Amino acid sequence: MLRRSSTGVAALAVASAILAGELRGQGAVDPNVAPRAAALERAGERPLAIGLLGRYLATAPDDGRAWFQLGRFYLLDARDWHLQGHRGDPDGLLYLDFAATAFDQAVRLSVDSGIVFRGLAELERSVVFLEDSGWGASNRASRSPTGSDVPPMPSFILELGANLLASCPVGGVLLVGTDLEALSVWYDNGDLRSRRILSLRPARYATDSLYRRRMAEAMEADPGLPIRHALAGVAARRPICLSPTADTAAAPVLTWTSSRLARVSRPVPPGPEALSVTELLGAMRQGGSVWVGEVRGVYDSAARHNALLCSSFVLVFGDAPPPACRQ
């Protein structure tokens, strides 16, 4: 009951806070509210944190950090809905609607991570469509990442997605690790479809029965098998690719070959696509966004498995190359 009532309070506050900002001046912004809510969430009191933020934002609708925290909590609620067997009220899509509204306000107020998490909300929405209708149908039915309802992703993140997809052969299954990798690949979903690459989240495959069933269907694998055994069978028919941050515990025992940013289960002939870090270099010169460092971290991780990247990305690594490039 606590979760339901707190969610209701905050859901009403999402709308009333936006309306309040339009009808009257901003109330006093308390910089301590967002950290207090984060502390409550870490202590296992997310419903209380959501209620706190909802009531506060109804009086201080121009606190971007508070909006961001509210959106983040709703995103976590949506993910928990999957883990809890896709049961509960509200359902996952409604949680994502709440999250998107909150992140839109964070974007309006120039919160650095607002755009990235707004994209994550749409990525999560695509997972709900996937679980409902299957891989092919979800790609057609889900909102386009380039649509007007979703803020454009920073170009250096789009560049990462293009580089990850170019590292996996046509028809491959690409295991991605972090949210950032998954988001960057999904935003380039036109290339994802044209290259017939399946993007797979191993942790979700292990914990979400609907996701596992749909992804196993797309790979023509047995959903009753553990992921390592399922992928071992898939590897006989199509390439398996590991992104730089993918969980190797999910990977079958195969002979892995470095292919640009990825490790691939079979030798890869040279392709026409060239990796580009032009956008990342530009973002590094400008500075300011925490996501520049996060993207740089993906390339650092890739260099652990492909020494050729040490020379290819010398401008990115600069005076602080990753450990794998210091020998």
d(CA 93, CA 103): 15
Amino acid at 133: S
User: What is the rounded distance in angstroms from the CA atom of residue 235 to the CA atom of residue 257?
Assistant: 13
In order of 34, 145, 173, 199, the CA distances from 241 in angstroms are: 39, 23, 6, 9
Answer yes or no: are the C-beta atoms of 72 and 117 closer than 8 Å.
Answer: yes
Q: Which residue has the higher pLDDT, 314 or 202?
A: 202
Query: Which residues on adjacent β-strands are paired with residue 257?
Result: 264
Kindly state the average pLDDT of the residues 289-314.
92
| Per-residue model confidence (pLDDT) at position 5 | 41
> Per residue in 240-287, pLDDT tens?
999 999 989 999 999 999 999 999 998 777 666 678 899 999 999 998
pLDDT tens track for 224-244? 999 999 999 999 999 999 999
Per-residue pLDDT tens for 6-35?
445 455 455 545 544 544 456 788 999 999
Q: What is the mean pLDDT of residues 295-299?
A: 95
Q: Contact at 8 Å (CB) between 163 and 275?
A: yes
Strand 257-259 vs strand 240-242: parallel, antiparallel, or unpaired? Answer: unpaired
220 has pLDDT over 50: yes
Q: How many CB atoms within 10 Å of residue 290?
A: 9
pLDDT of residue 1: 30
> pLDDT class for 188, splitting at 50, 70, 90?
confident
pLDDT at 9: 46
Cα(235)–Cα(221) distance, integer angstroms: 10
pTM: 0.88
Alpha-carbon distance of 232 to 237, in angstroms, equals 10
How far apart are the C-alpha atoms of 262 and 273, rounded to whole Å? 14
Mean pLDDT for the chain?
A: 86
